[in-house]
């Protein structure tokens, strides 16, 4: 079908025969439809993230803008600057304008409710990305189109379990948290305690927030090492802080003693895991969370908010694996490597490549 002959009726007709959920849009037909309208019927969207100074947020913005280009969406970005008051002021500004859809990652729960509710009441589809604008029951009553988010507890538990394995199930561990009001950070903290509490011989000697700030993370690491030179492990709520903590550990001459892990599986962290500098990370897919938000928002703007609410699930899990440096080299399976974890190979290069393509 040529672009010239592809109509909204064709798109909607094709959509009737697909399953419910995001695929109800029949993504490839939807892309074709939006590209055929990209010049004369572009959409106008607003997006916000907690702070573009973070590598995860910056990657998410890149993915969103790429999807915007593909779907004919002009996106205006409102950077939260890792400051809840600043982000609130920018969302207040956002709420004074008309948008085809809005998507945002709040820096703290509860701080954006009033302007978001005003936009929803004005008929604007709103997508919640990664962290909660409000508690789940309130999100639903507000009329949020969808929440696209990772399993923060799983990611944290996976990394902390590997750290404690490396510790031999005993010793001192520290936690460097994100922003206290950030629901993702709260969930990662919960995952940390879920695992540590299973090990009576593991002692938590420090647990403080660094607000996603690498300088604060480095300073906290230096402080805990001064107080506890026998420290065995550090878990940080994101990779940026984990890498800063790791550098502080190395600077203190304790690189072989203190194990460090983080969350997000950004490319430098994946490479650090492969190189033995970090013990583990877990993928929080900025590319999928932000990209899917643009797809869901553009779809709602195309078919109408009520139809989109009937088809797009309220919660969409953007899952991702835990990533370890271990290579499965079981000699008994050497002749059948497909029975080994990851075929007995390192997944690092492939995951970095997929992330570079904004699909992982």
Per-residue HEC secondary structure of the chain comes to CCCCCCCHHHHHHHHCCCCCCHHHHCHHHHHHHHHHCCCCCCEEEEEEECCCCCHHHHHHHHHHHHHHHHHCEEEEEEECCCCHHHHHHHHHHHCCCCCCEEEECCCCCCCCHHHHHHHHHCCCCEEEECCCCCCHHHHHHHCCCEEEECCHHHHHHHHHHHHHHHHCCCEEEEEEECCCCCHHHHHHHHHHHHHHCCCCCEEEEEEEECCCCHHHHHHHHHHHHHHCCCCCEEEECCHHHHHHHHHHHHHCCCCCCCEEECCECCHHHHHHHHCCCCCEEEECCHHHHHHHHHHHHHHHHHHCHHHHHHHCCCEEECCCCEEECCCCCCHHHCCCHHHCHHHHCCCHHHHHHHHHCCCC
Structural domain spans, the chain: 8-150+286-317, 152-284
In this prediction, residue 16 carries a pLDDT of 38
Please identify which residue in the block is written with the tokens 């079908």.
1
Residue 304: CB atoms within 10 Å: 13
Comparing 8-150+286-317 with 152-284, is the CATH topology the same? yes
In this prediction, residue 28 carries a pLDDT of 86
In this prediction, residue 7 carries a pLDDT of 57
How far apart are the C-alpha atoms of 156 and 193, rounded to whole Å? 9
In this prediction, residue 195 carries a pLDDT of 98
How far apart are the C-alpha atoms of 245 and 322, rounded to whole Å? 20
Sign (positive/negative) of CA torsion 39, 126, 303, 64? positive
- What is the per-residue pLDDT across 6-29, written as a single tens digit (0 to 9) for each? 455 555 545 533 433 444 447 888
In this prediction, residue 20 carries a pLDDT of 39
* pTM of this structure: 0.93
**Do residues 42 and 72 make contact, with C-beta atoms less than 8 angstroms apart?**
yes
In this prediction, residue 3 carries a pLDDT of 39
CA 30 to chain centre: 25
Q: Does the domain formed by 152-284 have CATH 3.40.50.1470? A: no
Which has the closest alpha carbon to 262: 292, 237, 245, 294? 237
Q: Does the domain formed by 8-150+286-317 have CATH 3.50.50.60? A: no
| Whole-angstrom Cα Rg for the chain | 22
User: What residues of the chain score a pLDDT lower than 70?
Assistant: 1-25, 38-39
Q: Which residues pair with 63 in a beta bridge?
A: none
**Do residues 300 and 282 make contact, with C-beta atoms less than 8 angstroms apart?**
no
In this prediction, residue 36 carries a pLDDT of 81
In this prediction, residue 26 carries a pLDDT of 75
Residue 1: CB atoms within 10 Å: 11
Burial class, 41, CB count within 10 angstroms (exposed 0-12 / middle 13-18 / buried 19+): exposed
């Amino acid at each position: 079908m040529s672009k010239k002959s592809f109509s909204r009726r064709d798109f909607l007709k094709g959509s009737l025969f697909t399953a419910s959920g995001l695929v109800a849009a029949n993504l490839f037909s939807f892309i074709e439809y939006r590209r055929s309208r990209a010049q004369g019927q572009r959409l106008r969207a607003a997006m916000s993230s907690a702070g573009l100074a973070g590598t995860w947020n910056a990657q998410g913005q890149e993915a969103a803008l790429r999807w915007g280009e593909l779907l004919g969406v002009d996106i205006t970005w409102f950077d939260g600057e890792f400051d809840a008051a600043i982000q609130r002021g920018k969302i207040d500004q956002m709420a004074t304008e008309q948008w085809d859809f809005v998507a945002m990652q709040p820096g703290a729960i509860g701080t954006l409710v009033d302007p978001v509710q005003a936009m929803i009441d004005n008929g604007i589809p709103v997508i919640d990305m990664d962290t909660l604008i409000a508690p789940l029951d309130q999100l639903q009553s507000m009329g949020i189109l969808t929440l696209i988010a990772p399993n923060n507890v799983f990611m944290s538990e996976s990394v902390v379990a590997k750290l404690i394995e490396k510790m031999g199930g005993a010793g001192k561990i520290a936690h460097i948290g994100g922003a206290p009001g950030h629901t993702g950070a709260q969930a990662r903290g919960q995952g940390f305690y879920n695992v540590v509490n299973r090990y009576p011989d593991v002692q938590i000697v420090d647990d403080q927030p660094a607000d996603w700030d690498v300088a604060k993370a480095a300073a906290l690491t230096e402080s805990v090492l001064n107080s506890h030179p026998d420290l065995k492990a550090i878990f940080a709520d994101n990779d940026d802080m984990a890498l800063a903590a790791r550098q502080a550990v190395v600077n203190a001459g304790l690189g072989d003693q203190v194990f460090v892990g983080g969350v997000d599986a950004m490319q430098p962290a994946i490479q650090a895991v492969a190189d033995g500098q970090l013990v583990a990370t877990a993928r929080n897919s900025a590319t999928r969370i932000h990209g899917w938000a643009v797809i869901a928002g553009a779809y709602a703007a195309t078919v109408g908010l009520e139809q989109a609410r009937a088809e797009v699930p309220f919660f969409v899990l953007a899952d991702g694996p835990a990533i370890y440096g271990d290579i499965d080299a079981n000699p008994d399976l050497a002749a059948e490597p497909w029975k080994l974890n990851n075929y007995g190979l390192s997944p690092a290069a492939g995951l970095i490549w997929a992330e570079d393509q904004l699909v992982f």
